[in-house]
Amino acid sequence: MNVLVTGSAGFLGRRLTDALEARGDTVTAIDIAEGCDALDLFRDGHRRFDLVFHCAAVAPHRSAIDGRPLTVGAGNLELDSALFQWAARTQPGRVVYFSSSAAYPVCLQDGSHRDPLREHDTLIHPEQPDAIYGAVKAMGERLARLYRDQGGAVTVVRPFSGYGEDQSADFPFGAFRIRALAREDPFTVWGDGTQVRDWVHIDDVVGAVLASVDNDVDGPVNICTGIGTSMAQLARMFAVEAGYAPRFEFLADRPSGVTYRVGDPTRLNEIYTPKVTIEEGVKRALAQQPVNM
């Protein structure tokens, strides 16, 4: 197929591009880091693609979400709205829209609820997503529904805490990897360490996305494991795997996000089951040399 990947140089985009090319697809890869802005294509482009993966995003990590909300909000809203206007004009075979677990209501993630988040839970309190990034992703899902109502084919996926051995230190897993490789002591963790996340390896994110496309899944569908691991637990996994026993220092004044975010993988497991455990992911990460992203 003739495939477009936006944000192709990013953590998700480059892995997805590799997987598509390995399948024999012809990939047009665009990324602002390589001098090609997706916004330019969306505003002026008329070429039709069989499949579109919209991975381009503005700083989708916690420090930027909390520290630069206007940049994150306005930038991602502009990208997503331009995507669907372009898609309505060019009518690609299918668009894959990457939403986020941040679209879920924060009232279901405050620690008092320990039930896995189900896809329809976004309807309970739609006015309470996680910060501006979650609000933009919730709006993107609404745009996707409108696009579908007009005859467009669109798959909406909600990745939870994606991670991998080459992830940027802007994200917890990547930061922990760098600290463990450097054998830092104290080993710092943002927040009090009790924040729980559903960690899903990037190989499984890609596998789940491609399975969703191959099965013509409209979604939304969670990309998750259903297993929660706290930041403190993850930090200790890294230290043990690295073979040292640091003192852990928890920085309560740094951005830490919601208390408990674990997804329900029931819908995903109908088409794909994640294969890489968080323990295996840590081992893989420490087997690699540091990458400065």
Three-state SS at 155 = strand
Poorest-pLDDT segment among 17-31, 54-68, 270-284: 54-68
Let me know: does 255 contact 201? Beta carbons within 8 Å.
Answer: no
Cα diameter, the chain = 57
pLDDT at 60: 64
Let me know: does 239 contact 178? Beta carbons within 8 Å.
Answer: no
User: Please, what's the b/e burial string for 40-79 (b: 16 or more CB within 10 A of its CB; e: otherwise)?
Assistant: ebbeeeeeebebbbbbbbbbbbbebbbeeeeebbebbbeb
Every domain of the chain and the residues it spans: 2-286
pLDDT at 292: 41
pLDDT at 50: 98
Render pLDDT for 223-240 as a digit per residue (tens, 0 to 9).
999 999 999 999 999 999
Inter-helix orientation angle 231-242/172-181, to 10°: 30
14 alpha-carbon distance from chain centroid: 13
Query: CATH second-level architecture of 2-286?
Result: 3-Layer(aba) Sandwich (3.40)
C-alpha 45/C-alpha 120 separation (Å) is 35
Render pLDDT for 27-73 as a digit per residue (tens, 0 to 9).
999 999 999 999 999 999 999 999 999 999 886 666 666 677 777 78
What integer best gives the mean pLDDT of the chain? Answer: 93
Let me know: does 176 contact 242? Beta carbons within 8 Å.
Answer: no
